[in-house]
Amino acid sequence: MATLPLKVSDIAPDFTLKDQAGVPHTLSSLRGKWVLVYFYPKDDTPGCTKEACAIRDRWPDFAKRGIVVLGISTDTEASHRKFAAKYQLPFTLLADPQKEVVRQYGVFGAKKFMGQEYMGVARTSFLVGPDGAIARVYEKVKPEIHAEEVLADLASRGVV
């Protein structure tokens, strides 16, 4: 993956994508709220499941702070629906099968696994502030601790 084109203080690029129920969500409509936009490679794979379940398990802490969580992958709405139901995910998963938003955010590109190179989504998150600006970029996210990391960042910003 190349260097991300987005950095802290940039206005997060707006997008509209459909969720697991086919309902469209637009990032700019969430101004005034903290939003975690997390990109993940694929539904129902080990790392992605760990990350989603860690957020699910800390959901009460996100909810009481009014944090909106948007998980985005290139999977379909139907795939997201099964993934969300299987793991009882209480937050929104957005489908980007055309790969428009993952490219816009600079998280889609060449990856390597076991010596093989392929194109895919890098596990990356963006914490977007109420003003629409990126407050934090998380690269090479560790799925097991990501929810804790985001909650600690929010607490350090006085979002409690």
Which residue numbers are catalytic? 48
DSSP type of residue 27: G
Q: What is the DSSP string of 119-147?
A: EEE--EEEEE-TTSBEEEEE-S--TTTHH
Q: Edge-to-edge strands of the sheet including 16-19?
A: 24-26, 16-19, 92-95, 68-73, 35-39, 124-128, 134-138
DSSP type of residue 11: B
Measured CA to CA, the distance from residue 7 to residue 5 in angstroms comes to 7
Q: What are the contacts of 139-142 at 24+ separation with CB within 8 A? A: 139/4, 141/38, 141/51
